Amino acid sequence: MQKDCPEQTAVWEEDSVSPIARLPGEILAEAFCWHILAVCSAAERKLYPAKDDFICPDVKPSYVSPPAPYSWLRIRHICRAWREVSLIYPELSTHIFLIHPECVQDLLSRSGTLPLHIYMSSSMFTYTQMSNVAASCGLLSAHFERIYYGSVPIPEDIVYSQPQPLMGGISRLMVLELNFWKASNPTSPIISNFTFPQLQRLTTRNGTIAALRPMLVSHLRVLRLLQCEPTSAENLLAILRPMQHLEELVLSNTISGEADWRQVRDTYLPGLRGTVDLPRLRLLSISERSALTGIPFLYCIAHPPSTAIRLSFKRLSSWHIRHGEGGCLLRLLSAKIDAWSDLDDPSLRSLRVGTSRGDLNFGVIVNVWRERLPLSALQNSPRDSTFFQISLDTDHKTFMTGLLHRLPLADVTAALIVDSASLWDAVDWEQLLSHLRSVEELTLRYEVFYTVQAEPRTARGLCPQLQVLRIHECAVDKPYFAVQQLPPNYARLAELARGIVANGGETLSVHAEAADWVGTVKGPPAEPLGQGPQTPRHWLATWVSEDSGLRAGYVDTWECASGGTVYVCTLMLYHYETSITSFEA
């Protein structure tokens, strides 16, 4: 066997030494610091998209599990050089998840007196982790003054435990997220004895105004109050009035009570002036159960016309619309929309409108942008990029029709329309398309229930600048719909789409597709309905008798806003419950 020459052996020995061992410890520590920060940021993200995020009915979201919070600790076990660096440099022990008390204790002891970054993850609120989180918070309480960035839970065990020695001092906090485990928690002794001269961003969940008083300082730049104990609008406005540096205000289910409509009509509307001036506000987001709470409060905030507005409401009933509150709300919103005329460029360039159906109502979400977005961005653009957004659940389409009429849509060049509530006739699509006089790229997605051929509807004058039209007929996501007679405007969007194609010139490019669970657009099979006319009750009874998997069923009825009667048949299976919606004129 041929022996290796000494020169070759020397080269192999030199190459066998890991190049990473030759790096100075400072450079290696810097690389580790960025790796730890990336892992912690990813582990803190939500696993699922936010509830109000827009998802097309036929586009399934992709869920990516975040990394384990302390997966970065494996760098201590790669080699001796890595371990020495990770233990010597205290800044590598300043990023802490409050989930494993032993890890928290180790990192606190190795971080010296450096500022701390505290993180949370969704797994911290599981039943099996609650005791670990409470123990970790107890270890952290002695180091509260060192926290620079904090996403901190306030467990009930800490709040109601035996009194601890009073601590106090000046906090280093600049960014803080507090998550109270109960909205009724009193002021935490960890917080009440500190001052916060550097605090700029405050987020709290399930908190109370009393517990947050020490941190509601005038120099805040970001304030997010999420699912806090409701407080009166007057109290909240008094807290906001000194915050002249505020750039972002997010309120979610925090305002108590609905507006006194006599006061709204007699006091707010004549002057149309806000009661709190926030001159630096860039984002105002209000999410409340009732539009009767959120929209009057929106009106009370004076802000620059460039402020992005995001609204989400769960309830606006036909009763309120019939008694005049709907028109009053539209006037309040119109005052905000009219202020856009003071912008250097008040044009809106992109529009996204989507509908969704529920058992008793439908939802409409409208997004507009000041810049033109491609289709991919319109489909997947996150909520934090939109200039104006309103999401509303209602059982009457008058309010949304009036709002869409007031939006300045004449300069929109790209639009995406998704109708998942065609049975409700939620939006006057023809009127909406008549406002899109400059649209060049239009995408229509709508549900198809039956094989009934939609006839082209006269669409002359609609979208005269249109260059690209994409039509996607989405399959209904429930396999059975017992429908005696469809509402008059059920297929309006499909008819308009065909009418635009028929009237389009040679410059119009059309892309059309249809898909469902078998690859073509079809309705429910005719066999279960039997021969001749059948009522939904009869059809349900027949199905229950033929399917042994059904345990019971019942039918609810109510009047539909567009005329006729809507039936919802609730079927209780062995493992789940589903609903079947029908319409009878």
Task: Report which of 261, 389, 434 is spatially closest to residue 331, judged by C-alpha positions.
Answer: 261
Average pLDDT over residues 574-578: 35
Give the model's pLDDT for residue 231. Answer: 85
Sign of CA pseudo-dihedral 403, 407, 412, 414: negative
Most confident option among 252-261, 431-440, 546-555:
431-440
DSSP string, 360-400: S-EEEEEEEESS---HHHHHH--GGG-SEEEEEEES-SHHH
DSSP state of 241: T
Q: Residue 427: which pLDDT band, with cuts at 50, 70 and 90? A: confident
Most confident option among 176-185, 200-209, 259-268, 554-563:
200-209
Q: Specify the 3-state DSSP secondary structure of 295.
A: helix
The string of pLDDT tens digits covering residues 103-156 is 999 999 999 889 999 887 765 555 567 778 888 888 887 888 888 888 877 765
Tokens 């290696």 correspond to what residue?
28
Average pLDDT over residues 293-303: 84
Question: What's the CA gap between 105 and 37, in Å, rounded?
Answer: 19
Q: Hey, what are 582's tokens?
A: 């029908």
Give the model's pLDDT for residue 322. Answer: 58
Question: What's the CA gap between 227 and 183, in Å, rounded?
Answer: 8
Give the model's pLDDT for residue 283. Answer: 94
| Cα dihedral 435, 441, 446, 448 in deg (nearest 10) | 120
Whether the pLDDT of residue 167 is over 80: the answer is no
Task: Report which of 173, 125, 115, 195 is spatially closest to residue 153, judged by C-alpha positions.
Answer: 125
Top-confidence residue, 191 or 389: 389
Whether the pLDDT of residue 280 is over 70: the answer is yes
- 354 forms beta bridges with 365, 418
Average pLDDT over residues 547-568: 38
Among left, alpha and beta (phi > 0; psi -120 to 50; other), residue 119 is: beta
Q: What are phi and psi of 160, to 5 degrees?
A: -105, 10
Top-confidence residue, 292 or 555: 292
Q: Residue 323: which pLDDT band, with cuts at 50, 70 and 90? A: low
Question: What's the CA gap between 292 and 279, in Å, rounded?
Answer: 25
Top-confidence residue, 80 or 506: 80
Task: Report which of 152, 170, 35, 172 is spatially closest to residue 96, judged by C-alpha positions.
Answer: 152
Question: What's the CA gap between 161 and 317, in Å, rounded?
Answer: 45
Q: Hey, what are 162's tokens?
A: 């035996």
Give the model's pLDDT for residue 304. Answer: 93
The string of pLDDT tens digits covering residues 67-84 is 788 888 888 888 888 888
Q: Residue 573: which pLDDT band, with cuts at 50, 70 and 90? A: very low
Query: How many residues make up the chain in this entry?
Result: 585
Give the model's pLDDT for residue 416. Answer: 94
Give the model's pLDDT for residue 584. Answer: 38
Burial (CB count <10 Å: 0-12, 13-18, 19+), residue 169 = exposed
Whether the pLDDT of residue 296 is over 50: the answer is yes
Give the model's pLDDT for residue 244. Answer: 93
Whether the pLDDT of residue 580 is over 60: the answer is no
Question: What's the CA gap between 47 and 61, in Å, rounded?
Answer: 11
Burial (CB count <10 Å: 0-12, 13-18, 19+), residue 434 = middle
pTM of the model: 0.73
The string of pLDDT tens digits covering residues 188-215 is 556 777 888 888 999 888 878 877 888 8
DSSP string, 155-201: -HHHHTSSPPPP--EE---SEEEEEESSTT----HHHHTEE-TT--E
Give the model's pLDDT for residue 162. Answer: 41
Top-confidence residue, 352 or 544: 352
The string of pLDDT tens digits covering residues 215-267 is 888 999 999 998 888 888 888 888 999 999 999 999 988 888 655 444 554 55
Give the model's pLDDT for residue 388. Answer: 93
Question: What's the CA gap between 252 and 293, in Å, rounded?
Answer: 11
Q: Hey, what are 139's tokens?
A: 């270890």
Q: Hey, what are 234's tokens?
A: 């007057």
Most confident option among 184-198, 336-350, 424-438, 447-461:
336-350
Task: Report which of 426, 387, 392 is spatially closest to residue 407, judged by C-alpha positions.
Answer: 387
- 445 forms beta bridges with 418, 472
Whether the pLDDT of residue 285 is over 50: the answer is yes
Q: Residue 423: which pLDDT band, with cuts at 50, 70 and 90? A: low
Give the model's pLDDT for residue 177. Answer: 83
* Radius of gyration of the chain measured on its C-alpha atoms: 29
Average pLDDT over residues 522-541: 32
Give the model's pLDDT for residue 564. Answer: 40
Q: What are phi and psi of 209, to 5 degrees?
A: -60, -35
Tokens 């609204």 correspond to what residue?
311
Q: Residue 578: which pLDDT band, with cuts at 50, 70 and 90? A: very low
Whether the pLDDT of residue 272 is over 70: the answer is no
Give the model's pLDDT for residue 333. Answer: 84
Whether the pLDDT of residue 168 is over 50: the answer is yes
